[in-house]
Amino acid sequence: MFWYHWKINFVYKIKHIVFVSLSGQYCLSAAEVSLPGTARTAALWKRRVKKKSVYTTFSAGFGIGSALGYNFPVVGNKTATATQDNVKVSLAFGIAIATMAQSVGHISGAHLNPAVTLGLLLSCQISVLKAFMYIVAQCLGAVVATAILSGVTSSLPNNSLGLNALAEGINSGQGLGIEIIATFQLVLCVLATTDRRRNDISGSAPLAIGLSVALGHLLAIDYTGCGINPARSLGSALVGRNFTNHWIFWVGPMLGGASAALIYDFILAPRSSDLTDRMKVWTSGQVEEYDLDGDDVNTRVEMKPK
């Protein structure tokens, strides 16, 4: 009987280590996997935060870089005033987000945006501490990306580094409203396409989210430059040392993300969980507690840590 229980326990541990190594702990080393629970969690978080910063660096860098590339139309054999191709910029941001989400979504969720992180926090899919660390990493990544672009594009005249600003004739209230609407549809798309309770999604969640990002840019570029990502806006403002109306690009996306989470969770697709269950996720953020309705843990889902 002793050997039987020992064998069962040994097999369980081996399976757990294999699962952790391949999916749950995202390529922790053998030494890190053998650490006690608290130390192993700390090592995992350290890796996730670092990767968040790297991923945001890539996505922000490609998006802002596309905004800095001008098209000079030729009129009468003379170069006319530089114009920005909104479709190109919108697609660049959308494709960058879709690519990063598809590539690394299994590692940390690929939020890449504080507004998305806030929406997932209010939707009880991550803990408060993890959300804070993710937002810090996203901001660091955006600042690094903008700093790199600043050096690469230093010869461009009037280089604003993709700084978000209100268009002529748009006041702060209108700009705030545009940011709320554009971010609302993005976070709503993230929540809907990655809902664990759904099994009817046959397409790609990262692609849908990337298209949602592109849609937001097509709407908002002409009015605010399209923030919808406070970290990205912070990078341009900080490196460019221009914080004019910068609060709009934090308050607007955060309100839009929070509104999307509350409307989706309590109106569009209500959850049956009570406040106690939600508090468990906010304080501990255990993966086992993400699915508050107790649905099948094997339900298909993308862009979530597994």
The secondary structure of 22-75, three-state, reads HHHCCCCCHHHHCCCHHHHHHHHHHHHHHHHHHHHHHHHHHHHHHHHCCECCEE
Question: CA-to-CA distance for 175 and 224, rounded, in angstroms?
Answer: 6
Question: 38: pLDDT confidence band, cut at 50, 70 and 90?
Answer: low
Instruction: Collapse the DSSP code of 78 into the 3-class scheme (helix H, G, I; strand E, B; otherwise coil) and give the result.
Output: strand
pLDDT at 46 over 60: no
- Asked if 178 and 225 count as a contact pair (C-beta separation under 8 A), the reply is no
pLDDT score recorded for residue 110: 77
Residue 22's identity, in one-letter code, is L
Torsion sign across C-alpha atoms 259, 263, 264, 265: positive
If phi > 0 it is left, if psi is from -120 to 50 it is alpha, else beta; for residue 191 that is alpha
In the chain, domain spans: 1-34, 41-289
Element (H, E) at 178: helix 172-193
pLDDT tens-digit readout, 196-246? 888 888 888 999 999 999 999 999 999 999 999 999 999 999 999 999 999
Q: State how far the Cα of 224 lies from the Cα of 244, in Å rounded to an integer.
A: 12
Whole-model pTM over 0.75:
no
Q: Which residues contact 75 (CB under 8 A, 6 or more apart)?
A: none
DSSP strand E in the chain: where? Answer: 74-75, 78-79
The class level of CATH for 41-289 reads: mainly alpha
Looking at residues 139-159, what average pLDDT do you find?
Answer: 85
Task: Count the Cβ atoms, other than its own, within 10 Å of residue 75.
Answer: 9
Measured CA angle at 106 (ends 134, 114), to 5 deg: 25
pLDDT mean across residues, the chain: 75
pLDDT bracket for residue 52 (50, 70, 90): very low
Number of C-beta neighbours around residue 187 at 10 A: 31
Give the model's pLDDT for residue 124.
87
Q: Are 138 and 112 in contact (CB under 8 A)?
A: yes
Q: Give CA–CA dist 103/110, Å, rounded.
A: 9
Q: Is 223 left (phi over 0), alpha (psi -120 to 50) or beta?
A: alpha
Q: Are 169 and 224 in contact (CB under 8 A)?
A: no
Which pLDDT tens digit goes with each residue over 59-95?
454 455 555 554 444 445 444 445 567 888 888 889 9
Q: Does the pLDDT of residue 141 top 60, yes or no?
A: yes
